[in-house]
Amino acid sequence: MHASRNRKILIVENSDSIRRDFANCLRHNGYEVLEAMDSDTAIDRLVEQRPDLIITDLSQPCVDGMAILEKASREVPMTPVIIVSETGTMEQVVMALKKGAFDFITKPVDNLAILKYAVEKGMERVLLMEQNREHQEHLEELVKKRTQELEKRTHELESEMRKRRTVEMLIEHAKREWERTVDAIPDLIALVDRDHRIIRLNKPMAKALGMPVEKAVGEKCYTHLHGVDEPPDICPHTQLLKDGKPHTIEVYEERLGGYNEIIVTPYHDPDGTLIGSVHIVRNINERKQAEEEREKLHTQLLHAQKLESVGQLAAGIAHEINTPTQYVGTNIDFLEEAFQDLAELLTKYDQLLEAAKANRVSQELIEGIEETIEEVDLEYLMGEVPQAISQSRDGIKRVTSIVRAMKDFSHPGGKEKEPSDINQIIKTTVTIARNEWKYVSDLELELEDTMPMVPCLKDEMGQVILNLIVNAAQAIGDKLGENPEGEKGVITISTAWNEEAAEIRVSDTGTGIPEDARDKVFQPFFTTKDVGKGTGQGLAIAHNVVVDKHGGTIEFETEDGKGTTFIMRLPMDKINQVPV
């Protein structure tokens, strides 16, 4: 069992025969044997060779077993020492055992099996001690390794904790910065869950609600924002929960300081689940005031343009009125002369009647009447007077229609849309603008007879149509040049409708809109006309009236050298879909 290890055994014995017997026995059993005759030699070999087991006499000449035992205890404390002695007393044996001796054999050793047994027991102890040492070293290595691992992990944890503390500090700092930022925003901001409960809000919102931030959390938003017990019909948060989309409404709320714009945007958790909305309530009193001022300025601008249009049309309208007025005047002069002639003839007839009653009709009287009939040309008067009266009546009708059209066009409309006859608006505008287009174009009306009443701002739509007619006439005039030589263009105005919208088209055969100007035509003050011929406001006003005020659309189709068609669509109020 122990020979395989080639264990070293130091035998300290001054008796050559005993030492030899012991050595032979042990070598025979596979041990490497070191021999020493005295204590000094034994101690040297003990230090140099470090035997696995020592067999020494306790007390002989030149051999001090106690000294060897003490030296072994210091140098090789794990090495068993077997004491072999015939002179020792029991007190020495006990002392040796106390000092660390493993075993004690009494001389003479007649049976070497006793020695062998003692050595095997000692070697077993050596083996156990080695195994224990190896196990201890293994444990120490494990402890050392584990300690290093723990130290490394501790350092890592400490580093991670430091990083985490740093991150937490940054997060806390960012949180405070974010809260200060949100609190500094004048808009009222709140997070609202699916049950309409406020889960977070900024200080301006809390101030508007009249309660501390911590008390407002958990409260129903509609209760404190609108003073109602359930979400109002216009609640944008309710709509957002249905479709998951942002919504914006404008409300007037005294408790929130007047006009406010409420914007809600979806609020999701990390998994993308909709859990509420972000409420932003923004006071828009100043914006509303600015809009009112802008609307007032626009109304003034529209009125100014209408006055400008009236002024520009005045000469043409005067000419339009002057022509029928002239032939009415001429016919009146003719009728006056005819009346004088007829009055003279009637006087002759009256004389004839008196003479007939008195039975005194003379040939002279009859000849006088015949001369008067010839002088006044009664046949001519009988044919021309009815024509003069008819022509005068037509002239008066023409003047009346122009005056009525001018009155309708100039009359200020209301600020609210009302059901209006679009076809009649077009006819009125065509009438007052006749002098603008009659020299350069013919004007054709293709108006839908079943067109219903259309909700609109009547006077403003009249201004829009006038602007388009004037633009069309000018475009045709530019194409024909200063001397058109009898050629004319064509302006066509048509109407159509369906359940959704009423459509008005104004087409011309003019020059068309240049390609580089097509994306600018609706911009204020943009014009392609020469200086003094246009303010650049006509189409800008048309766009504002049709799109901004009526919620409709205005677009155009154009081709260079062939003309332009403007297409306007006004939303149709289904309640008013009654034919005119």
Which DSSP string corresponds to 329-357? HHHHHHHHHHHHHHHHHHHHHHHHHHHHH
As a three-state string, the secondary structure of 128-177 is HHHHHHHHHHHHHHHHHHHHHHHHHHHHHHHHHHHHHHHHHHHHHHHHHH
Task: Give the residue from 401, 433, 424, 474 showing the smallest Cα distance to 309.
Answer: 433
For residues 429 and 183, give the distance between their C-alpha atoms in angstroms, rounded to a whole number: 57
Residue 104 gets which letter from DSSP?
E
pLDDT in tens, 93-115: 778 788 878 888 888 888 888 88
| Residue 574, helix vs strand vs coil | helix
- Would you state the pLDDT for residue 316? 58
Of the candidate ranges 62-71, 410-419, 426-435, 553-562, the one whose mean pLDDT is the lowest: 410-419
Q: How confident is the model at residue 552 (pLDDT cuts 50, 70, 90)?
A: very high
- Residue written as token pair 């013919």: 442
- Would you state the pLDDT for residue 335? 79
Q: How confident is the model at residue 410 (pLDDT cuts 50, 70, 90)?
A: low
Task: Give the residue from 511, 513, 509, 507 showing the smallest Cα distance to 494.
Answer: 507
- Would you state the pLDDT for residue 491? 94
Q: Is 90 exceeded by the pLDDT of residue 445?
A: yes
Q: What is the dihedral of CA 210, 215, 216, 222, to 10 degrees?
A: -80
Q: Is 80 exceeded by the pLDDT of residue 52?
A: yes
Average pLDDT over residues 361-372: 82
For residues 216 and 206, give the distance between their C-alpha atoms in angstroms, rounded to a whole number: 7
Angle at 249 between CA 243 and CA 250, to 5 degrees: 175
pLDDT in tens, 290-301: 888 877 776 676
Report percent pLDDT > 70 for the chain: 85
Of the candidate ranges 142-146, 236-240, 241-245, 392-396, the one whose mean pLDDT is the lowest: 392-396
Q: Is 80 exceeded by the pLDDT of residue 76?
A: yes
Distance of CA 85 to the CA centre of its chain: 105
Give φ, ψ of 240 to 5 degrees.
-65, -40
For residues 42 and 72, give the distance between their C-alpha atoms in angstroms, rounded to a whole number: 10
Q: How many CB atoms lie within 10 A of CB 69?
A: 22
- Would you state the pLDDT for residue 414? 58
| Residue 315, helix vs strand vs coil | helix
Residue 579 gets which letter from DSSP?
B
- Would you state the pLDDT for residue 451? 92
pLDDT in tens, 305-341: 666 655 555 555 665 666 667 657 777 877 788 788 7
Of the candidate ranges 111-115, 469-473, 526-530, the one whose mean pLDDT is the lowest: 526-530
| Residue 276, helix vs strand vs coil | strand
Residue 530 gets which letter from DSSP?
P
Question: Which one of 112-116, 117-121, 443-447, 486-490 scores highest in mean pLDDT?
Answer: 443-447
CA max distance for the chain = 220
The better pLDDT of the pair 301, 226 is held by: 226
Is residue 479 classed exposed, middle or buried when 0-12, 13-18 and 19+ CB atoms within 10 A define those classes? buried
| Residue 29, helix vs strand vs coil | coil
For residues 294 and 107, give the distance between their C-alpha atoms in angstroms, rounded to a whole number: 132
Average pLDDT over residues 235-244: 90
Q: 233 is written with which tokens?
A: 């019909």
- Residue written as token pair 């055969």: 509
Q: Is 80 exceeded by the pLDDT of residue 426?
A: yes
Amino acid letter, residue 387: Q
For residues 507 and 488, give the distance between their C-alpha atoms in angstroms, rounded to a whole number: 14
Q: How far is CA 23 from CA 18, 42, 87, 390, in A?
A: 8, 15, 21, 170
Provide the mean pLDDT of the chain: 81
Average pLDDT over residues 539-552: 88
Pairing of strands 274-283, 188-193: antiparallel
Q: How many CB atoms lie within 10 A of CB 453?
A: 19
Residues 384-409 as b or e (16 or more Cβ within 10 Å = b): ebeebeebbeebeebbebbeebbebb
- Would you state the pLDDT for residue 129? 81
Q: How confident is the model at residue 497 (pLDDT cuts 50, 70, 90)?
A: very high
Strand ranges for 166-212 from DSSP E: 188-193, 198-201
pLDDT in tens, 162-192: 888 888 888 888 778 877 887 788 888 888 9
Average pLDDT over residues 537-560: 88
Q: How many CB atoms lie within 10 A of CB 490?
A: 15
For residues 198 and 306, give the distance between their C-alpha atoms in angstroms, rounded to a whole number: 53
The better pLDDT of the pair 464, 534 is held by: 464
Task: Give the residue from 122, 131, 20 showing the smallest Cα distance to 81.
Answer: 122
Give φ, ψ of 459 to 5 degrees.
-70, -35
- Would you state the pLDDT for residue 266? 93
The better pLDDT of the pair 246, 109 is held by: 246
- Would you state the pLDDT for residue 322? 64
